[in-house]
Amino acid sequence: MSNIYTLREMFGGQWSSSARLDGKTVIITGANTGIGKETARDLAGRGARIIMACRDLDKAEGAQKEIMDDSGNQNIVIRKLDLSDTKSIREFAEAINKEERAIHVLINNAGIMMCPYSKTADGFEMQFGVNHLGHFLLTFLLIDLLKRSAPSRIIILSSMAHGWGTIALDDINSERNYHSRRAYGQSKLANILFTRSLAKKLKDTGVTAYAVHPGIVRTKLKRHMNLGLLIMWKIVRPFTKTPVQGAQTTIFCAVEPELDKESGGYYSNCRPSRCTRAARDDEMAEKLWELSCKMLGIVWN
């Protein structure tokens, strides 16, 4: 992949479809703001039951009200989910498995970028822990329900930033050497490798998986950006996407009927996109899968 982005890639990918999701249930992590909130608003307008999985219930309530008012859909619920704590992830999944008859779309959207070094409740480096491991565990805990609900889809928000890092198998928690941009890159590369492995393991189950780069989007994600990137941000700002534009590829992956035939790919601007060679390394994807299971203390073959 080259880091040269065309104008089409910055603005593009508007997608329009009148497809409905009545009777379908969608979970969106980090649905209280940014891309997740706009995804929730759109899918609510298509009639889906939306489960907003958020760490801050007060913020989520404001977004829930807005989405209900806008879409006229009252079937929007909030559930507490803190992806930086495996206890919270397990509690969330337990409630979903008990209360929901089906989950048709799981959107692993929540994320943090370039924060100062910190660790999750379980001792994982924060960006790898939240962006990859938290969603890995969440998906594991919901996979039987997703299989029973097939055809169903898993959408994983990655980024063009997957090229900023590599998977450091010997220092996955960046304990020896932390570089916030590289650690974000590692987590977003892990998102693509996870999607590829998932697609293989879910072959013939009716559950499909898609990785997404939403574009460069004006959201709160950039709150921890360093000065260099903030300057770059200012330069490209006129070409960045609004959150509504940034949500289009996720919505496309959730709704487009033709995508039932595809799984494991990387999408941007509502079409397949090219990722780096490291993101197509199936041997590394397998090693990452094993390491993720080991770190989380789970068996998932």
Ligand X SMILES: CC1=C(/C=C/C(C)=C/C=C/C(C)=C/C=O)C(C)(C)CCC1
To 10 degrees, the CA torsion angle through 284, 5, 159, 208?
A: -80
| Binding track, positions 246-285, relative to ligand NDP; x by CB under 6 A | ----------------------------------------
**184 has catalytic annotation:** yes
Residue 77 bridge partners (DSSP): 51
Pick one of 137, 190, 202, 216: the residue that binds ligand NDP (CB under 6 A).
216
User: How many Cβ atoms are within 10 Å of 252's Cβ, its own excluded?
Assistant: 23
Given the complex with ligand NDP, which of 10 and 150 has the nearer CB atom?
Answer: 10
Work out what residue 35 binds among ligand X, ligand NDP, none; the CB cut-off runs from 5 to 8 Å by kind. ligand NDP
Question: Shortest gap between Cβ of 264 and ligand NDP (angstroms)?
Answer: 19
- Would you say the C-alpha torsion 245, 30, 39, 259 has a positive or negative sign? positive
Report, in Å, the least distance between residue 277 CB and ligand NDP: 20
Contacted by 220, from ligand X, ligand NDP, none: CB < 5 to 8 Å by type: ligand NDP
- Torsion angles phi and psi, residue 125, rounded to 5: -55, 135
Residues near 219 by beta carbon (within 8 Å), at least 6 away in sequence: 33, 34, 35, 243, 246
Please state, in angstroms and rounded to a whole number, the distance separating the CA atoms of residues 243 and 65: 18
Contact positions vs ligand X (CB under 6 A): 3, 5, 113, 159, 161, 216, 222, 229, 232-233, 235-236
Task: Name the minimum Å distance from CB 133 to ligand X.
Answer: 18
Does position 157 interact with ligand NDP (CB under 6 A)? The reply is yes
Q: With beta carbons less than 8 A apart as the criterion, state whether 74 and 107 touch.
A: no
Which is the catalytic residue, given 5, 184, 210, 266?
Answer: 184
Phi, psi for 153 (deg, rounded to 5): -135, 150
* Shortest Å distance, C-beta 148 to ligand NDP: 25
The set of residues, in sequence order, having a beta carbon less than 8 Å from that of 184 and lying 6+ positions away, is 113, 114, 127, 131, 159, 161, 164, 165
174 binds ligand NDP (CB under 6 A): no
Binding partner selected for residue 56 from ligand NDP, ligand X, none, CB under the kind-specific 5 to 8 Å limit: ligand NDP
**Among 76, 49, 47, which residue's Cα sits nearest to residue 64?**
76
d(CA 194, CA 208): 12
Q: Which does 233 bind (CB under 5 to 8 A by kind): ligand X, ligand NDP, none?
A: ligand X
Binding-site partner at residue 235 among ligand X, ligand NDP, none, CB < 5 to 8 Å by type = ligand X
From ligand NDP, ligand X, none, interface partner of 59 (C-beta below 5 to 8 A by class): ligand NDP
Taking the complex as a whole, the smallest distance from the CB of residue 18 to ligand NDP amounts, in Å, to: 25
* DSSP conformational letter for 128: I
Q: What is the nearest approach in angstroms of ligand X to the Cβ of residue 113?
A: 6
Task: Single out the residue of 26, 34, 182, 190 nearest to residue 96, CA to CA.
Answer: 26
Assess 219 for contact with ligand NDP (CB under 6 A).
yes
* Residues 21 and 102: beta-carbon distance below 8 Å: no
* Catalytic residue annotation: 184
Binding-site ranges for ligand NDP (CB under 6 A): 29-30, 32-36, 54-56, 59, 81-84, 109-113, 130, 157, 159, 213-214, 216-217, 219-221
